[in-house]
Amino acid sequence: MINSNNPFSLIGKTILITGASSGIGQGIAIACSRQGAKVLLLGRDLKRLNDTLARCENGKDHAGLSLDFQDTDGWTDEFTSFAKENAPIHGFVHAAGISPTVPFKIIKAEQIQETFQLNVFSAIEILQIISKVGIKSPEGMSMVMISSVMSEVGQKGKSLYAMTKAALVALVKSLALEYADKNIRFNAISPSVVNTPLSGKSEYRKDPAAMKQVEDMHPLGLGEVEDVAHAAIYLLADASRWVTGTNMVVDGGYLSS
Ligand SMILES: NC(=O)c1ccc[n+]([C@@H]2O[C@H](COP(=O)([O-])OP(=O)(O)OC[C@H]3O[C@@H](n4cnc5c(N)ncnc54)[C@H](OP(=O)(O)O)[C@@H]3O)[C@@H](O)[C@H]2O)c1
């Protein structure tokens, strides 16, 4: 039953978030907890993951697990136990990601594999695990992939990153159809530049002229993690119960400029 006083409430929902130790994932974790969700946090750096847990509100049963999705020895068994212990899961946000900038002619197969492993394949493995009976919420679920405006437009040196982000958008469109009868919704969010540790490392930040150019492409200015977190809350909450298969652009006007 939708909460008519606050359709954006996440009270009673358990939300799993990757990339929760930093930036957008951390912002989403904190914002979801403020809306009443129990949050399950995944990240790599245990100390920063615990910092996020300490900043989450409304309850003490939030949980965290440190995993490296690029670990070739595997992480899925440990994750499956964690998911079972904390089931049922109502929502999932995949915010873990890296954003390599590399000219196409020197991209190595190994780098393609590593980038896809984190940005795309880890999400696929998690989706397959949490949509199983015994872990998924029988009432339905909402899955949110953090993509990027790079799924829609290009940029020099971003072919590898853009491929991974476009893959997430393609994924949600088909899964939205495949799982509609089970009331599992799939959507993507495509931000442009958001102030985070990841975007802070970008080359353009070192050059005032290049930085001005990036800022000029954002009529509403650069984004903050809350701007993406509020979109995620909408897609996770019952307010969006009729929304599936979309790519929600959250970009301060970037794609229109
Ligand atoms: N910031 C932007 O301007 C922007 C714009 C569009 C889209 N995005 C997307 O938004 C997402 C979050 O970006 P962000 O800016 O918040 O980046 P961030 O601050 O660098 O955070 C990235 C997160 O991914 C996790 N991660 C990295 N490698 C991992 C691995 N091997 N295994 C498990 N987790 C790993 C990090 O964990 P540790 O820190 O613990 O290592 C961290 O929690 C990314 O998918 C990015 O592509 C960002």
Ligand 1, pocket-test mutation among 16, 17, 21, 22, most atoms within 8 A of CB:
22
Residue pair 148/164 in contact by the 8 Å Cβ criterion:
no
- From atom 17 of ligand 1, which residue's Cα is the shortest distance away? 198
Site residues for ligand 1, CB cut-off 6 Å: 19, 21-25, 43-45, 48, 67-70, 95-99, 118, 146, 148, 191, 193-194, 196-199
Ligand 1 centroid distance, CA of 22 (Å): 7
SS3 label, residue 76:
helix
Separation CA 183–CA 95 (nearest Å): 22
Count Cα neighbours of 118 within 13 Å in the Cβ-side half-sphere.
Answer: 21
26 C-alpha to center of ligand 1: Å?
9
CATH superfamily to which 14-245 belongs? NAD(P)-binding Rossmann-like Domain (3.40.50.720)
List the chain domain ranges: 14-245
Q: Residue 207 gets which letter from DSSP?
A: -
Residue nearest to atom 2 of ligand 1 (CA): 194
Ligand 1 centroid to Cα of residue 181, in Å, is 32
Each residue's pLDDT expressed in tens, for the chain with a length of 257 residues: 778 789 999 999 999 999 999 999 999 999 999 999 999 999 999 999 999 999 999 887 999 999 999 998 899 999 999 999 999 999 999 999 999 999 999 999 999 999 999 999 999 999 999 999 999 999 999 999 999 999 999 999 999 999 999 999 999 999 999 999 999 999 999 999 999 999 998 888 999 999 999 999 999 999 999 999 999 999 999 999 999 999 999 999 999 99
